[in-house]
Amino acid sequence: MSKKVWKPGTFVYPIPAVMVSSGDMKNSNIMTVAWTGILNTNPAIVYISVRPERYSYNIIKDKKEFVINLTTEKLAYATDWCGVRSGAKYDKFKEMKLTKEKANFVKAPLIKESPVSIECKVIKEENLGSHVLFTAEVLSIDADEKYFDEKGAFDISKCDLIAYANGGYYKLGKKIGKFGFSVEKKKKK
């Protein structure tokens, strides 16, 4: 079997499909972003990449903050809808029956229905061409208590997270290993 050569493009899949909330508790917006990820551990730094024509772009550029809300199978419809409708024409919280929740460190609202909301402060903007990269420091991670186990550990497998790949949304499957499992010493019986 040989590989077929395609033109260069974006094909690092799957990637998270997240809903990014911006603005404040009174005037806010939600946009769906798939160009997002982790850049650094200490300090915790993440990014989102946004087209300047998006309604949320100017809100984030002006306020210098946003919230990354992880999405679930139950939020798939709202995730898609918030990605194809403009906040200039719709109140996305109202239309999708999503609940604004006050954040601890930013003015932008959390999406209560999201299992994890990541409060972010923009530290750098870079125009890359079609998108502007907003690099942000993580100020807080707000996680729903129902996903913690009895020992206080967060169990992400209970969230039913979704990912985006090549134009489609996919439910993430079961855990098949953990970091370092390939070199872990076998326990003697």
- Nearest Cα to 143, choosing from 67, 38, 60? 67
Question: What pLDDT, on the 0 to 100 scale, is given for residue 186?
Answer: 79
CATH code, 15-171: 2.30.110.10
3-state secondary structure at position 81:
helix
Separation CA 181–CA 184 (nearest Å): 5
Give tens-digit pLDDT for 93-126.
999 999 999 999 999 999 999 999 999 999 999 9
Asked whether 113 and 75 are in contact (CB, 8 A), the reply is yes
What is the CA angle 154-157-160, rounded to 5?
120
Global confidence as pTM: 0.93
Residues whose CB is less than 8 angstroms from the CB of residue 26 and which lie 6 or more positions away in sequence, other chains included: none
pLDDT at position 188 over 90: no
Our measurement of the distance from residue 159's CA atom to the centroid of its chain's CA atoms, rounded to an integer in Å, reads 14
